[in-house]
Structure 1
């Protein structure tokens, strides 16, 4: 069956380690769109954090999609029409914030173009033997404006798409089960980077978002190629007709994939598309 859509994780997949889409990969994706294939950016990032890359790859001109917050929110890149949305309800979000305060993590909520973090929160984590201002990092990567509040609960008057918790990777590896356990069956929880552990509404993942949005466009799972490298990409890789793990992907993603391509630093997407699309 012909391929009608290509779903792409961003960090560690579409972009190289310098957070850049390489010329060869960009050329391959623009050519695929010119041939009638839709591009779908599927990321843990908020919608705002996808717009620059969507513009670079001309998604709005070709009717592409933006899958944000690990699948909690899907919008049409051309019209901004919301095709799928599954936020965390306000009461559960308030309970969750109260719970994660028992851990040495930095929680924040993203809404629109703003990142909400508590004024009393630390902003720096120790990462790869260096200090990293993780709030500044997220704002820069996703084109967000930091907004400090006295109490993160102030942002919970309405449902929210996710709660992100940042901390040192070693700390999260030791504590993530304790963080997630009280919400087992009530929320989805996963790593999106070794320093990010995130909570979404129950059942939210990239595969489910694609399954909810693409039939409205007349696209079946068998007509989709999905690329990813992390834990939050596994559902999408499994769901797609052709699931592709990057050479730098975690073992879980590679095990779920139909094929493994070169790394994000070696134009793995372009190489795989040469093989799949011909």
Structure 2
């Protein structure tokens, strides 16, 4: 273990025997992806080998569908991803198809490519915005829809969307009713002065009764989803549809938005670079994302499966 607490050697196995793995659920940023947002050749090979062995691979991320171009080239047979912290299940083959047709790989897919949407009701989102404005003055907001993102003028600059509407969150959320408008996947809340974990704790104390609130960014940026919506709850639904039990799932993550998923999965690994809450929730640890921690565990799972078959 390094001086900063990161794991620098082989993964630490969870206690007890590991059941047969049928599905691997992995976060992207800080987990599967390296810090430069690339997927290493070793990781690509490990993902392909897992699917060839009959193990499904699900990408489970806080990213919106329009930012899934980073892994669309590495989709194997399953082609599905859980995006926006569980608010959407997306067909990645459709994103890849758009890219081959000459469109940008990170283009926002149209509604028909969303396999499932678990929206944040606008009236609920407005309650959260009201609570955070009162409890944490200076908070700015963005609204992530199935069609793209809109944001307030004070919201920090990021990948600007030329089609975005810029207005107050109240205006953005009042533009239309839930019956005739694009679903809200999540609301983003940013504060320039509060520490990330302090902001998260405050938000949960004043608005946690209305919505699911988490974070995946190293900055004070919160992600607000519908009540009960999380990576874990949507992954559980997807697994139930496929007859896969939690004991047959191996999950990987590094930030607070992964905590519920790691606690739900039968076997779970915190990355060597993980947040302390993630380390506490996971049943094991692997090395950091820049050291191919996910690939290392997948390789071991496959090696053990081969050894059992040959025994």
In which range does the TM-score fall when normalised by the shorter chain?
A: 0.7 to 0.9
**Cα RMSD for the two superposed structures:** 2.3
User: Higher relative contact order by CA 8 Å / sep ≥ 6: 1 or 2?
Assistant: 2
- Confirm or deny that 1:109 pairs with 2:109: no
2:117 matched to which residue of 1?
A: 85
- The residue number in structure 2 matching 1:44 is 62
Residue 98 of structure 2 corresponds to none
2:9 counterpart residue number? none
The equivalent of 1:65 in structure 2 is: 80
Within the candidate set 3, 9, 13, 2:31 is matched to: 13
Provide the TM-score with structure 2 as the length reference: 0.75
Match of 1:199 in 2: 224
Partner of 2:203: 179
Say whether 1:34 aligns with 2:67.
no
State whether residues 48 and 112 of structure 1, in contact with CA within 8 Å, keep that contact through their aligned partners in structure 2: no
Gaps of 5+ in 2: 1-18, 95-111, 304-311
Report the 3-state secondary structure (helix = DSSP H, G, I; strand = E; otherwise coil) of the residue aligned with 1:271: helix
Distance in 2 (CA, whole Å) between partners of 1:175 and 1:199 is: 13
Conserved? CA contact 1:247–1:261, under 8 Å? yes
Post-superposition Cα deviations, 1:191-231, rounded to whole Å, max 9, x if no partner, equal 21122211111222111111112111222212111110111
Q: Distance in 2 between matches of 1:202 and 1:113?
A: 21
Counterparts of 1:1-278 in structure 2, within 5 Å, are: 1-50=19-68, 52-59=69-76, 62-78=77-93, 82=114, 84-102=116-134, 103-118=137-152, 120-123=153-156, 133=157, 135-136=158-159, 145=162, 147-156=164-173, 157=176, 158=178, 159-168=183-192, 170-195=194-219, 196-278=221-303
TM-score by length of 1: 0.83
Distance in structure 2 (CA, Å) of the matches to 1:107 and 1:217? 37
Q: Is the 8 A contact 2:121 2:184 kept in 1?
A: yes
1:58-86 Cα deviation digits (max 9, x unpaired): 24xx0232111111222344476655432
The answer as to whether partners of 1:84 and 1:212 remain within 8 angstroms in 2 is: no
Over 3 Å counting, the alpha-carbon distance change for 1:57 and 1:163 in structure 2 is same
Aligned length in residues: 258
Q: SS state of the match for residue 148, structure 1?
A: coil
Query: Which residue is 1:127 aligned to?
Result: none
Structure 1 gaps of 5+ residues are 124-132
Paired residues of 1:228 and 1:244 also in contact (CA < 8 A):
yes
Higher alpha-carbon Rg: 2
Matched residue of 2:185: which SS? coil
Q: Using the alignment, how far apart are the partners of 2:296 and 2:82 within structure 1?
A: 24
> 1:161/1:3 Cα in 2 relative to 1: closer, same or farther (>3 Å)?
same
Is the contact between residue 131 and residue 207 of structure 2 (CA under 8 Å) also seen in structure 1?
Answer: no
